[in-house]
């Protein structure tokens, strides 16, 4: 068996999964699994359900072993509630399979499930996630699980025995299979009789319909969740599958499933970690039922795929983390770029190096990268100032870092543009003044006027480094200090006052983008005009 010398959590799980697969199913492809319900927007917390086994499966493939990542779309689950923002009349479909519910108004998709699967499918493609998708609607309605359903019904007493260990109340006539009504398509049904020998099953529905079917031929219903999940573990031979914190309380699907899978289906529970929640900066815990939740597609509008992958790769599954849609994304990108420099210089720690490698590519090859990456905060400032004007943006980036074409700065440039358009608060937008603030200029004392003259005279070094030295150096010159003088409290106060004056003269408020970037964006001639020199 190929061993990995890396010390990150992915490698350790890969080692465990490979060893477990050799014990359970030697010579067969290793099976990792995820499950997603397209009952509403599939959010960034749900993405952890996919990214955790993806990263492990990808590491196994990197070692040259055959590994499949199964992604079960739980599209045969019942429609439980109408999310916020959807016509309340959709309540008439509650109880139907998700694939039998019409898509939300205006959707181009065939049904509710397909509507919410589509953006996730596209996001997973952009993220480089290689998986085999399984529609549970297709599995159940094709009869793929028929033998497993019959076994569960035969062993209903054993299943009930497991469940009763966690119940506070006695349940009579427990039945693990729920038919969908053949008339109204909903699962508001009650099994009234079952014959083990003939498999004849009688049910009635709240809509008034009732019928008798042969379960050995019936493909319009499904096992209840706490039986369905362990059935699939055995059916697919799953070796590795993570589960959320909510699945680990007493009596939960993971806990009882671990007993049912062996006692009823002759299989074994997968190994896999419990994963923590993923939050959003400035938002509470995500909930698909509320409708308005950030999805992977939303995140990929404002950040490159490797950066989003990195967020999931660098934290152990049990560690919670947040994804930034506010200005924290600029700090995140600073961290990402700093890591890239450490990797390039051979200074990254093993775990850092492993997380970076998993972020920038997969066993199939590298993900799309920006050829000429400019700091995200710089791009955001430039795009804010230019309002996205391509010619002005190229002029600034060319002066800034010799960018020859905007395509060289993509896709990061486009991600930053989306962030500016959709997430930068209106009161933080930068609007360069069209004319000088003459009233303010006339009110300045001689010292302030001298600082502006020093600035204007020093604009010849038209580079970020030169402009940075200039704006920090003007207060030093006025204080009679050398350019490399260490900052004192008095000097810092003078610099803050100088910066505030420049911001007021250039953009009409006391704060704004980093001054060197702002000066470069405005241009030397216009800066001189606005500062009155």
| Residue 502 confidence (pLDDT) | 96
Secondary structure of 273-299 in HEC code, one letter for each residue: CEECCEEECCCCCCCHHHCCCCCHHHH
Q: Specify the DSSP element, H or E, that contains 30.
A: strand 30-36
pLDDT at 245: 81
In order, the DSSP letters of 387-400 are TT-HHHHHHHHHHH
Domains of the chain, each with CATH number or no CATH: 285-428 (no CATH), 438-531 (1.10.10.350)
Confidence at residue 321, expressed as pLDDT on a 0 to 100 scale: 95
Q: Given this model, what pLDDT does residue 292 score?
A: 65
- The 8-class DSSP code of residue 13 comes to H
Please report where in the chains the tokens 């006027």 appear, as a residue: 449
CA-wise closest residue to 215 among 263, 272, 156, 286: 156
Question: How high is the pLDDT of residue 282?
Answer: 54
pLDDT for the residue numbered 283? 52
Instruction: State residue 261 phi and psi, 5-degree precision.
Output: -60, -35
What CA–CA distance (Å, rounded) separates 20 from 14? 10
According to the model, what pLDDT value does residue 284 have?
A: 43
pTM of the predicted structure, to 2 decimals: 0.90
The residue ranges of the chain whose pLDDT is under 70 are: 1-6, 282-292
Give the pLDDT of residue 236. Answer: 98
Listed residue (5, 70, 13, 3) closest to 275, CA to CA: 13
DSSP-based three-state secondary structure for 18: helix
Residue 57 tokens read as: 């499966």
């Amino acid at each position: 068996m190929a061993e990995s010398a890396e010390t990150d959590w992915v490698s350790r799980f890969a080692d465990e999964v490979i060893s477990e697969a050799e014990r359970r199913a030697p010579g067969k492809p290793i099976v990792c699994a995820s499950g997603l319900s397209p009952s509403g927007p599939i959010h960034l917390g749900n993405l952890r359900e996919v990214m955790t086994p993806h990263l492990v499966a990808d590491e196994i493939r990197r070692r040259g072993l055959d590994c499949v990542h199964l992604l079960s779309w739980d599209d045969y689950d019942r429609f439980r509630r109408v999310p916020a923002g959807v016509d309340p009349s959709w309540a008439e479909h509650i109880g139907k399979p998700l694939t039998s519910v019409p898509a939300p108004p205006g959707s181009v998709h065939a049904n509710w499930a397909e509507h919410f699967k589509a953006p996730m499918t596209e996001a997973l493609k952009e993220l480089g996630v290689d998986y085999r998708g399984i529609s549970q609607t297709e599995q159940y309605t094709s009869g793929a699980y028929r033998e497993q359903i019959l076994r569960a019904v035969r062993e209903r007493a054993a299943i009930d025995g497991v469940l009763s260990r966690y119940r506070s109340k006695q349940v009579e006539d427990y039945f693990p299979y729920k038919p969908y009504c053949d008339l109204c398509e909903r699962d508001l049904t009650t099994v009234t009789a079952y014959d083990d020998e003939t498999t004849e099953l009688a049910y009635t529905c709240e809509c008034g319909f009732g019928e008798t079917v042969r379960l050995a031929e019936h493909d319009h219903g499904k096992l209840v969740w706490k039986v369905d999940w362990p059935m699939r573990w055995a059916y697919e031979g799953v070796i590795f599958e993570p589960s959320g914190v909510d699945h680990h309380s007493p009596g939960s699907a993971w806990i009882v499933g671990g007993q049912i899978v062996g006692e009823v289906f002759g299989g074994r529970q997968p190994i896999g970690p419990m994963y923590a929640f993923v939050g959003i900066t400035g938002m509470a815990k995500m909930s698909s039922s509320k409708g308005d939740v950030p999805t992977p597609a939303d995140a990929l509008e404002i950040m490159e795929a490797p950066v989003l992958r990195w967020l999931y790769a660098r934290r152990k599954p049990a560690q919670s983390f947040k994804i930034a849609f506010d200005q924290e994304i600029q700090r995140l990108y600073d961290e990402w770029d700093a890591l890239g420099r450490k990797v390039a210089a051979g200074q990254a720690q093993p775990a850092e190096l492993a997380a970076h490698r998993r972020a920038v590519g997969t066993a199939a090859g590298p993900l799309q990268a920006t050829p000429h990456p400019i700091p995200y905060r710089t791009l955001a400032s430039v795009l804010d100032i230019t309002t996205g004007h391509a010619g002005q943006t190229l002029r600034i980036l060319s002066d800034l870092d010799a960018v020859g074409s905007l395509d060289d700065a993509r896709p990061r440039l486009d991600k930053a543009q989306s962030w500016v358009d959709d997430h930068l608060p209106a009161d933080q937008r930068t609007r360069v003044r069209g004319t000088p603030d003459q009233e303010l200029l006339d009110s300045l004392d001689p010292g302030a006027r001298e600082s502006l003259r020093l600035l204007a005279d020093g604009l010849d070094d038209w580079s970020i480094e030169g402009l940075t030295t200039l704006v920090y150096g003007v207060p030093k010159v006025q204080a009679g200090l050398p350019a490399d003088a260490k900052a004192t409290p008095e000097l810092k106060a003078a610099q803050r006052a100088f910066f505030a004056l420049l911001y007021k003269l250039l953009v009409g408020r006391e704060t704004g983008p980093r001054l060197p970037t702002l000066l470069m964006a405005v241009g030397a001639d216009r800066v001189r005009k606005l500062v009155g020199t």
